[in-house]
Structures are given as C-alpha cells and as structure tokens.
C-alpha cells in the first residue's frame, strides 16, 4: 500500500476537506498549498499526479494526533472533534423529492402504444408561404449569370 493510498483512506475516514488538511499540517509547522495537496489525490495516470512522500505523510500523522488529542496543556476529546467534522458536512434532505423530467408528447394519440394514431390527427406537412401576385419574391440566384470560368463572347 502506497503513501497516497494511506493518505486517501485517512482523508475519507476522517471526512476531511483540503483546507482542513492544510490546517492540520500547519499544526506541525509544515506548509503545503491546496493545489499541491490535490496532486496527491489525483489518478496515477493524470499528468499532474504526484507521489506523497514519507515526510508529508509523517507530518500529517503527527499533526492529526495534535488535531484530535490536543496538547498536554490543552487536551481534547477525539470523539468531539470527529463529531464536529460530521456536523460541518451538509446533509441532503431525503424528504425533499426531486421532480422527474418527462417529455410531453405532442399528440396524445401518438403516445398511446396500444393503437395506431387516427388519420385525422396525422401530422400535416407545413404549407409553403404564399406571396401575393404583385409582390412576388425573386430568388437571388436567378439574378446572377454564371460563366463558369469561360470568357465573355462579344
């Protein structure tokens, strides 16, 4: 088991966010950025993946002991700290139901699977626009004469 696997499992088991891990590492005067920390949790095939070194894992474990137990002068109860972590995680409301999207059919008879749609409600083809006789629309293509690369005969 690699250091990255240990680090990932600790993160999940303790329900820690990246900013909390940075704070834990600062307890033992070890500074690391969130982006450097994120490199440890990437997939091994990712170009920005970085192997977690022994020094990082050692400092994290030492900081975790201080974070959970406290110091001799200021001891803490680890269960209280873990309960505080759980309280910070937003809980989804299971009673709130999500609306399911259902596409409405255009024609109710088309949606019935037991019968074929009647001929009266069959989809009609859209008719072409009718222009009044005095205002006939002239196609632009009709105005242009193409020579297709041939010289004009005069």
C-alpha to C-alpha distance for 144 and 141, rounded to whole angstroms: 6
Distance set, CA 145 to CA 23, 70, 149, 153 (Å): 77, 90, 12, 14
pLDDT interval class at 124 (50, 70, 90): low
Distance of CA 119 to the CA centre of its chain: 46
pLDDT interval class at 70 (50, 70, 90): confident
Q: Which residue has the higher pLDDT, 29 or 96?
A: 29
pLDDT at 111: 56
Against a cut of 0.75, is the pTM above it? no
Strand partners, 70: 75
Residue 6 has pLDDT above 60, yes or no: yes
Residue 134 has pLDDT above 60, yes or no: no
């Amino acid at each position: 088991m690699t250091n990255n696997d240990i680090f990932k499992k600790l993160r999940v088991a303790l329900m820690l966010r990246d900013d909390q891990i940075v704070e834990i590492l600062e307890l033992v005067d070890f500074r690391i950025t969130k982006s450097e920390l994120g490199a440890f949790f990437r997939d091994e095939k990712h170009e920005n993946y970085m192997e977690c070194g022994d020094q990082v894992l050692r400092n994290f474990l030492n900081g975790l002991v201080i974070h959970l137990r406290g110091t001799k002068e200021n001891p803490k109860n680890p269960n209280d700290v873990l309960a505080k972590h759980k309280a910070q995680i937003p809980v989804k409301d299971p009673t709130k139901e999500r609306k399911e999207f259902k596409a409405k059919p255009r024609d109710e008879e088309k949606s019935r699977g037991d019968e074929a749609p009647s001929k009266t409600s069959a989809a009609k083809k859209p008719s072409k626009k009718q222009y009044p006789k005095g205002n006939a629309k002239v196609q632009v293509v009709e105005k242009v004469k193409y020579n297709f690369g041939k010289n004009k005969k005069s």
